[in-house]
Amino acid sequence: MLTLIRKTLTRVAMAACIGTVPVAAQADTELTMYYPIAVGGPLTQVVDGIVADFMKENPDIKVNAIYAGNYNDARIKALAALRSGEPAQLSVMFSIDIYELIEQDAIVAFDDIVTSPEDKAWLDSFYPTLMENGRTGGKTWGIPFQRSTIVMYYNKDAFRAAGLDPEKAPATWDELVVAGKKLTKADGSQWGVMIPSTGYPYWMFGALTMQNDQVLMNSAGDTTYFDAPSTISALEFWKDLGTEYKVMPEGTIEWGTLRQNFLEGKTAIMWHSTGNLTTVKQNAKFDFGVAMLPANKRRGTPTGGGNFYIFKKTSPEERVAAMKLIKFMTSPERSAEWSMKTGYMGVSPAAYNTRKLQDYVKDFPYAAVARDQLEFATAELSTYQTGRVRKALDDAIQAALAGTKTPAAALREAQTTADRLLKAYR
């Protein structure tokens, strides 16, 4: 009732204020793309460059890229724009937003757009691991683009100073603890290792659980395994790095300032997104290395980052144009260029087979660590009600690391919350 009143009132008000709504009559297709990076950063220039190239090749399509901030902002803004009727045809959004977007009926499956066998083959041209977060219910909803995994950055100078082999990064949890103890200085001026626990704690935790041979959720996105014994022991290990082995500061570690800590030599090892690779390369004043994350029962990392989605409220012409743009941006050449400039991954084997990326990898082998690690990777935590489920896990991790709850108790609580939230979807 109130909504009705509001709608009528606003319509009257709109009519009074605006009078006539100008209708843009353009023959060309215009695409508005939301993009999850902060405006004006180095990445903006890269995306702008690719988009400009695309428009040069396709003069009949005009692309407006809207840089909305972080993943959360991009999703909020894109959905808000859709709801308020502003134009938005496609977007790069968090790969794990898939269920939320499906539930909001905001996106269209690529299977419903692609028709030719050639296009269907294109859907299978990406790394399967990167497609995991984009597929559910037998359909493909997201195409990988700005994708990353977690890798281990380490300070080779610090390794040398501690008497460790700088070419041999810790490959198991035990080696990590041993190396960490050697690297940690008693006066607190240098820690052995830092794993960030703000911002995206569940993501880092996804790596630890995978290394414990445990996934966090099923592929239908309606069940989580937060209280599985291997999940609990993974969190116990994370906590022990601080309290038991003393190789990591206790309490939570800030995602945003961690890179600075590493560059300042305050920690010899950090786990962070490959998306940081280029910045670290440019700013490190010491010899650094990049390695796969260590293994416990096996190696493991979640993938992360953003996928392309096409919104449902689009005309057939717009969908065709959007497909063109997505194909252009994920083409091997562009994906290779994107990877070199940012540190994000190339999205298909073909991208790593391009000449320029092969040359780059020869010169800077660390650029391929993320790709090599893909073999061990798994999907990032993503479920229905993903925001709340994620927060339940994030809170549990932070509570355990901060010592207010035991890992087992915290995770059981998170599982109860997740069960309550997901019951309706099973």
Partner 1 sequence: MHPAYNLMRHVYGWLLLTPAAILLIAFTHYPTVATFYESLFSKGTAIRPSRFVGSANYQAMIEDPIFWKVLVNNLWFAAGTIPVSVALAITMAMLVNRSLPGRSFLRMAYFTPTILPMIAVANIWLFFYSPDIGLIDQILGWFGLPGHNWLGDPATVLPAIIVMTIWKEAGFFMIFYLAALQNLPPELEEAAKLEGASRWYYFRRVVFPLLMPTTLFVLVNAILNSFKLVDHLFVLTKGGPDNASNLLLYYIYENAFSYFDTNYAATLTVVLLTMLAIMALAQFFFLDRRIHYR
Partner 2 sequence: MQRQYRAVSTAFETFAAWFIAILWISPLLYAFWAAFHANEYAIHFELLAPLTLDNFREALSQAPFLRYGFNTFVLVTMLLTSQLVICTLAAYAFARYDFVGSNIAFALVLVQLMITPEILIVENYSTLAELGLVDTITGIGLPYMASAFGIFLLRQTFKSTPKELEDAARLEGCGTLGILWRVYVPLARPTYLAYGLVSISHHWNNFLWPLVVTNSVETRPLTVGLGIFGAPESGVDWSIVSAATLLSVAPLLVAFLLFQRQFIQSFMHSGIK
Task: Note the residues at the interface with partner 1 (CB under 8 A).
Answer: 2, 6, 72, 76, 79, 100, 103-106, 188, 191, 197-199, 249-254, 257, 260-261, 264, 266, 385, 387-388, 391, 394-396, 398-399, 401-402, 404-405
Helix (H) or strand (E) holding 308: strand 301-311
From partner 1, partner 2, none, interface partner of 15 (C-beta below 5 to 8 A by class): none
The site partner of 106 among partner 2, partner 1, none (C-beta below 5 to 8 Å per kind) is: partner 1
CA-CA-CA-CA torsion sign (299, 344, 94, 59):
negative
CB-neighbour burial class of residue 7 (10 A; exposed 0-12, middle 13-18, buried 19+): exposed
Is residue 212 within 8 Å of residue 234, measured between CB atoms?
Answer: yes
Measured CA to CA in angstroms, residue 360 lies from 94, 151, 235, 355, 372 at distances of: 27, 18, 37, 9, 15
Question: What's the number of CA atoms in the CB half-sphere (13 Å) around residue 20?
Answer: 3
90 binds, among partner 2, partner 1, none (CB under 5 to 8 A by kind): none
Residues in Cβ contact with 212 at an 8 Å cutoff, skipping those fewer than 6 apart: 230, 231, 233, 234, 237, 296, 297, 300
387 binds, options partner 1, partner 2, none, Cβ within 5 to 8 A by partner type: partner 1
Nearer to partner 2, 40 or 59 (CB): 40
Per-residue CA distances from 116 to 111, 120, 310 (Å)? 10, 6, 18
Q: How far is the CB of 62 from partner 1 (least distance, A)?
A: 29
Least distance to partner 1 from the beta carbon of 7, Å?
12
Say if CB 138 and CB 123 are below 8 A apart: no
User: Which of the choices partner 1, partner 2, none does residue 96 contact, using the CB cut-off of 5 to 8 A by kind?
Assistant: none
Q: Which does 71 bind (CB under 5 to 8 A by kind): partner 1, partner 2, none?
A: partner 2
118 interface partner picked from partner 2, partner 1, none, CB below 5 to 8 A per type: none
- 262 or 376, CB closer to partner 1? 262
Residue 105 Cβ, how far from partner 1 at the closest point, in Å? Answer: 3
CB of 425 to partner 1, least distance (A): 10
Q: Which is nearer to partner 2, 74 or 396 (CB)?
A: 74
Binding positions for partner 2, rule: CB under 8 A: 6-7, 10, 13-14, 36-42, 66-71, 73, 77, 80-81, 83-86, 255-260, 264, 273, 275-276, 279
Angstrom distance (rounded) from CA 193 to CA 305: 23
Shortest distance in whole angstroms from residue 309 CB to partner 2: 17
Could you tell me which residues are beta bridge partners of residue 224?
Answer: 217
When the beta carbons of 87 and 387 are compared against partner 1, the nearer one is 387
Torsion angles phi and psi, residue 224, rounded to 5: -115, 160
* 388 burial via Cβ count (<10 Å: 0-12, 13-18, 19+): middle
The DSSP 8-state label assigned to residue 93 in this structure reads E
Report in angstroms how near the CB of residue 109 gets to partner 2 at its nearest: 26
